[in-house]
């Protein structure tokens, strides 16, 4: 099996050359760090991926978690990995030092999550969820909650989860019915059911801490009556003991992929003894949860890109090793066959994957950069970066989530029949990666978030800032002869984006919300392609800078290869916006109009 | 689980209204049949699908074939299904009556295969392969071979296979090395290995008959030295006994999907006692095999469309039953949630599936129609239909193969988290359907076949005939007000097709074959979209005809629904050709140029 699952060279190129992560150390928050530390973190993550995660990829898939005697049992590789995560400071790596974190830039944290996801997505979800849950307690919880929970969570001893979904409330989170009944003891009594909760019970930790949405008795209906609670599996008592908190696992889901991670149905308060502690203010739970959710959404993008990266390197190794067929212009059957990678159609499938994976990664690091600058800066600058991050979050979630399925599918195609069989992990990657358009808000939900909310916030300020960001990159590219044609192509695409957006916003004025948002999913795709083209052009500035130094050997191959991937994206992917723009400006309301009865046969 | 896996109404609409299958009975070959017989065959196939196939869909997936004591054991449902296929005349249903077939139009045979594939793709492969293998013996075999093998095969007692692929020869079939050594006894001694052979051994039949490609000792290298043999698992002796023919199963593949069907590695002649009988002339085996292969390629399209049809109806039923969320313009949380099918984005995902499935099916029946006319007619007409069928075969294989993956993925998306779990079969459909771009020639191979060969045969005559066929449909559509806009859109698309094709053929003159064919896969996609738009317009003629009769109730819903699917295809899918045409006319040779070394990091 292919050893390689990510390109260290490319990660360093993105972190140092393109996004200049060391420049963040000018801000007090990051001043304790430097480039050497960043590289050390990265190299350690790579080593962990290689030693602790990748070797168990297929084994974890073939031996999914089991529910035995009221306890979920996960693969034995999870425990040492979580221990290492706890001891090495990997959980809460970007949290403030004062609460036990490492205060690393999110850019670095994202790079590490990408590495872990590429090595073994199911495994990386465990610490990532704990990280997000702890972050939420840190942001909104009382001092007592922080002291009780965060240290154990950062140490990898207690698992964190995000418990939103209920049987009757999937994408419609406002419809949750789990009840929290106030008591005089400072806690609430919780009763209800949750479904599809990741890492919600397992034997690699001592305890599980659910960050759970529930409705305080007699709260208003809908999203305005939702509160956030800490609901542990075992509640810590004053005397240091832990008492079972009446959080019961009703069953495990059997999934297409992502099988190493247990997803359960839970039932709280079957014996009227489930206690929850309020996090933040009553009825304001959704805003808090969304802070966590936004980071998790970008993690989804990282997860998808990571899996597609691993699939890419598997197919690349195969294409180099497997001899099959002969060049079209030299078909003499007496000559030996050539490696697959000699065939243009195979190179096309490899470039496709590279264009998707490295383009997505650029967009994800761009989001991290905005988040890091938001922390470092203040005033209007801070607010602007925050707006940019808000705008790009649904894009950075969905572009990789959707496109990496196609990317992994191309990896299968490179391997042909072998790609369909389990000797190679590409079939698993194809199953694993399919989760991403579903969890943390479906692609449909992301589209409505982008067009219905983000593009319009503050009178379209986030959108205007985005256009300016892209224009800055185009201006820089126009000074470099090799990039000028791509700068011009992106300029045209940006104009199309503005026209289409203007058209759609005019519908918001004149038509029903249904007609306005009918094709929001397509708008998201359209926006995603242009965003990734922008990121490729952005990378192009540094590719050309590198090539100016006349590199040789592996470094020259790397940069030339990247430039081909850039060219590929502009030649094969960017033209897709033309068809999408055609549809997006033809707002005939077709999908709004059609009656459900017309689907009868 | 959803009961419905195909629309009987739509099948009858296509068979009777659109393709007027009864008109074939004017030809002597089909004169024994009539509409009632066709409907009876169809209804029986639906019943078989419902009773013998669908109930075992998930069970066969969870209990794949096992290799025990030198014998492959398949699910117990296969045996009664094959018995029924044999007794009911389902194998060889379109073969001539004189050789034991039913002499049914291929259009009807295809409709039944589509039904079986939708009910249980893994199961339908068994009789379909036997059918194709028997057909090959019938076309090229000696009288003795015909008498020995065909009756047992049509009876479903012996399994047929197609044994091409070898470890060193996947897509490059000219590189096979299995040896056939002539003897004085009328048979050849076979030695070699085959991989990825479907249904190549199992316990639901008494014998397996491999139609195998091998190289007669000292034959020329490459495809010019390949011959076709019948190589049975047990060879029938004069005395009626059957002797093991030294065809050994080396192992089973574990696959992503399509798990009910055993795919094996085989080794022939380990004890120097494997005998094969030549079919047709020495060194002319590939031409014969390709006759069978072409039909199998269209079967792949049927398989893909069938699976996508079943996924569509599963997601449709779910969308009707599952309440989730509220209309965007009526979000009052005090009101009950509405069924998913009320949301435009969900209707979009349903229409997408319907547009792909019913459009693909139109194209497949169009191919069947050409095949049936080719049999019924003679002279130039016969030749023209044969050319049209040749041209469209790679399209009718690949458009469904590729697009139905996306279609099934949308079915998963309609179900959200449940779509990712095995309570519903959509996750299985997603795994099953992924085989289709791989087997019977990858999509890359089909692209080269279309652009490199089919578009150019007889100085482009097939292509010219195709353009005329599309123009005929456009001309009819232009007489109907409701269809005129779509006729005009297709006319423009057809012009684009001609321009792009002309450009590419000019490359064939002036550039290397590598540059000419670099984007053949994209050309295939481009050609496919236009072909399916044509088929939708073709269906539109009969949709509008039906609507003119002012139908009511279910019939009106059916026709209105179909017209929305037509509109959807033209609004959402046809515009994709613009981006593809942009790429196809920008022949920069990017994927030809890039050096394999540039993929080093």
Residue of B nearest to A444 (CA): B345
**Considering only the top CATH level, what class is B290-591?**
mainly alpha
Is there a contact between A223 and B442 if contact means CB atoms under 8 Å apart?
Answer: no
The pLDDT value given to residue A27:
97
pLDDT at A293 over 90: no
Q: What is the chain A residue with the closest CA to B561?
A: A598
Strand ranges (DSSP E) for B188-281? 188-198, 207-216, 227-232, 234-236, 242-244, 247-252, 263-268, 275-279
Catalytic residue among B440, B469, B525, B573: B440
Instruction: Give chain B positions within 8 Å (CB) of A339.
Output: 596
Fold of the domain spanning B160-282: Butyryl-CoA Dehydrogenase, subunit A; domain 2 (2.40.110)
For residue B574, the SS3 value is coil
Nearest by CB: A557 against B346, B586, B598: B598
Choose among A344, A434, A578: nearest Cβ to B412.
Answer: A434
Which tokens in the block code for residue B410? 């949308």
Residues A86, A92: Cα–Cα separation, whole Å: 9
- 113-172 in B: which are within 8 Å (CB) of A? 165, 168-172
pLDDT digits (tens, 9 = 90+) for A396-451: 999 999 999 999 999 999 999 999 999 999 999 999 999 999 999 999 999 999 99
* Interface with chain B: mutation pick from A403, A422, A524, A591, highest number of B CBs within 10 Å: A591
pLDDT at A541 (0 to 100) = 98
Evaluate if residue B295 carries a pLDDT over 90.
no
Give A400 to chain B, closest Cα distance, Å: 15
Per the rule left: phi > 0, alpha: psi between -120 and 50, beta: everything else, B158 is: beta
Pair of tokens at residue A336? 């030996």
Terminal-to-terminal C-alpha distance of chain A? 47
Q: Specify the DSSP element, H or E, that contains B68.
A: strand B66-68
Say whether A591 and B347 touch across the interface (CB within 8 A).
yes
Does residue B347 belong to the interface with chain A, where contact is any CB pair within 8 Å?
Answer: yes
Instruction: Quote the percentage of chain B above a pLDDT of 70.
Output: 100
In contact, A354 and A565? CB cutoff 8 Å: yes
Burial (CB < 10 A; 0-12, 13-18, 19+), residue A168, is middle
What's the mean per-residue pLDDT of chain B? 96
Element containing residue A335 per DSSP (H, E) = none
β B247-252/A234-236 pair status? unpaired
Q: Among residues 244-283 of chain A, which lie with CB inside 8 Å of chain B?
A: 253-258
Residue B336 contacts A where some CB pair is shorter than 8 Å:
no
Please name the fold of domain A159-283.
Answer: Butyryl-CoA Dehydrogenase, subunit A; domain 2 (2.40.110)
**Is pLDDT above 90 for B65?**
yes
Residues 486-515 of B with CB under 8 A from A: 512-514
The residue among B413, B439, B197, B122 whose CA lies nearest residue B301 is: B439
Domain ranges for chain B, please list them: 8-153, 160-282, 290-591
- pLDDT number for residue A119: 98
Nearest CB to A583; choose among B521, B572, B596: B572
- A228-261 pLDDT, tens digit per residue, is 999 999 999 988 899 999 999 999 999 999 999 9
pLDDT digits (tens, 9 = 90+) for A96-140: 999 899 999 999 999 999 999 999 999 999 999 999 999 999 999
CA angle (A49, A55, A61) in 5-degree steps: 105
Residue B47 is predicted with a pLDDT of 98
Q: Which residue of B has its CA nearest to A443?
A: B413
Tokens of B307: 């699976």
Count CB pairs under 8 A between chains A and B. Answer: 304
pLDDT confidence of residue A1 = 58
Known active-site residue B440: yes
Question: Which pLDDT band, with edges at 50, 70 and 90, does B1 fall under?
Answer: low
Q: What is the pLDDT of residue A114?
A: 98
Residue B572 touches partner A, C-beta closer than 8 Å: yes
Please list the residues that pair with A404 across neighbouring strands. Answer: none
Helices (H), B268-378: 285-321, 344-376
Angstrom distance (rounded) from CA A573 to CA A447:
20
Does the pLDDT value for residue A2 go beyond 80? no
Beta bridge partners of B214: B227
Helix A344-376, helix A553-568: angle, nearest 10: 90
Residue A361: per-residue pLDDT:
98
Distance from CA of A381 to the nearest CA of B (A): 34
Q: Do A517 and B575 touch (CB under 8 A)?
A: no
Q: Give the tens place of pLDDT for each residue, A528-577.
A: 999 999 999 999 999 999 999 999 999 999 999 999 999 999 999 999 99
pLDDT tens, position by position, B409-436 = 999 999 999 999 999 999 999 999 999 9
**Predicted pLDDT at A601:** 86
Nearest by CB to residue B579, choosing from A575, A596, A599, is A575
Task: Kindly report the pTM of this predicted structure.
Answer: 0.98
Contacts of A571 in chain B (CB under 8 A): 583, 586, 588, 590
Contact A168 B596 (CB under 8 A): no
Task: Note whether B261 and B199 are within 8 A (CB).
Answer: yes
B571: chain A residues, CB-CB within 8 Å: 583, 586, 588, 590
B561/A439 CB distance under 8 A: no
Determine contact, residues B229/B214, Cβ cutoff 8 Å. Answer: yes
Mean per-residue pLDDT, A161-183: 93
Instruction: Specify which residues B179 forms β-bridges with.
Output: B191, B215
Active-site annotation holder among A358, A374, A440, A573 = A440
pLDDT tens readout for residues A332-366 = 999 999 999 999 999 999 999 999 999 999 999 99
Nearest residue of A to residue B433 by CA position? Answer: A420
Query: Which superfamily, per CATH, for A8-153?
Result: Acyl-CoA dehydrogenase/oxidase, N-terminal domain (1.10.540.10)
Query: How far apart are the CA of B38 and the nearest CA of chain A, in angstroms?
Result: 21
Measured CA to CA, the distance from residue B584 to residue B499 in angstroms comes to: 10
Closest Cα in chain A, distance from residue B44 (Å): 19
């Amino acid at each position: 099996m292919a050893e390689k699952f990510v390109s260290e060279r490319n990660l360093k190129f993105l972190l140092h050359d393109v996004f200049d992560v060391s420049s963040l150390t000018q801000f007090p928050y990051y001043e304790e760090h430097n480039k050497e530390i960043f590289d050390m973190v990265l190299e350690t993550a790579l080593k962990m991926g290689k030693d602790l995660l990748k070797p168990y990829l297929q084994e974890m898939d073939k031996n999914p978690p089991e529910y035995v005697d009221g306890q979920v049992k996960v693969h034995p590789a999870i425990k040492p990995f979580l221990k290492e995560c706890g001891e090495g400071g990997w959980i809460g790596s970007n949290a403030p030092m004062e609460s036990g974190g490492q205060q690393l830039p999110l850019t670095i944290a994202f790079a590490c999550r990408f590495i872990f996801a590429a090595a073994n997505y199911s495994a990386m979800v465990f610490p990532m969820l704990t990280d997000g849950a702890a972050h939420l307690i840190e942001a909104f919880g009382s001092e007592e909650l922080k002291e009780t929970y965060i240290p154990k969570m950062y140490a990898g001893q207690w698992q964190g989860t995000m418990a939103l979904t209920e049987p009757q409330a999937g994408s419609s989170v406002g419809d949750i019915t789990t009840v929290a009944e106030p008591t005089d003891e400072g806690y609430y009594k919780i009763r209800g059911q949750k479904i599809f909760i990741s890492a919600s019970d397992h034997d690699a930790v001592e305890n599980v801490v659910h960050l759970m949405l529930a409705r305080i008795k007699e709260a208003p209906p809908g999203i305005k009556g939702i509160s956030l609670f800490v609901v542990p599996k075992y509640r810590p008592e004053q005397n240091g003991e832990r008492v079972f908190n009446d959080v019961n696992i009703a069953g495990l889901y059997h999934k297409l992929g992502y099988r190493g991670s247990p997803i359960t149905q839970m039932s709280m308060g079957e014996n009227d003894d489930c206690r929850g502690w309020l996090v933040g203010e009553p009825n304001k739970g959704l805003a808090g949860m969304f802070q966590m959710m936004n980071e998790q959404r970008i993690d989804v993008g990282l997860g998808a890109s990571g899996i597609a990266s691993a699939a890419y390197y598997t197919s690349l190794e195969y294409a180099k090793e497997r001899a099959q067929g002969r060049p079209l212009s030299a078909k003499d059957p007496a000559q030996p066959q050539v490696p697959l990678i000699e065939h243009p159609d195979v190179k096309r499938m490899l470039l496709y994957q590279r264009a998707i994976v490295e383009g997505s990664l650029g967009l994800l690091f761009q989001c991290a950069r905005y988040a890091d600058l938001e922390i470092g800066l203040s005033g209007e600058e801070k607010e602007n970066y925050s707006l940019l991050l808000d705008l790009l979050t649904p894009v950075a979630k969905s572009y990789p989530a959707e496109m990496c399925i196609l990317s992994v599918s191309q990896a299968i195609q490179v391997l042909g029949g072998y790609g369909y069989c389990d000797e190679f992990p590409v079939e698993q990657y194809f199953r694993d990666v399919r989760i991403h358009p579903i969890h943390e808000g479906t692609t449909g939900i992301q589209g409505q978030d982008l067009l219905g909310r983000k593009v319009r916030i503050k009178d379209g300020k986030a959108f205007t800032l985005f256009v300016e960001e892209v224009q800055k990159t185009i201006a820089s590219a126009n000074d470099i002869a090799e990039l000028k044609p791509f700068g011009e192509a992106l300029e045209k695409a940006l104009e199309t984006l503005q026209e289409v957006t203007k058209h759609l916003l005019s519908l918001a004025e004149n038509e029903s919300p249904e007609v306005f948002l009918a094709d929001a999913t397509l708008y998201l795709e359209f926006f995603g392609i242009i965003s990734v083209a922008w990121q490729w052009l952005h990378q192009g500035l540094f590719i050309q800078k590198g090539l100016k130094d006349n590199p040789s050997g592996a470094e020259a191959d790397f940069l030339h290869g990247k430039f081909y991937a850039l060219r590929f994206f502009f030649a094969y992917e960017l033209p897709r916006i033309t068809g999408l723009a055609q549809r997006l400006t033809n707002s005939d309301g077709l999908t709004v109009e059609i009656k459900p009865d017309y689907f009868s046969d």
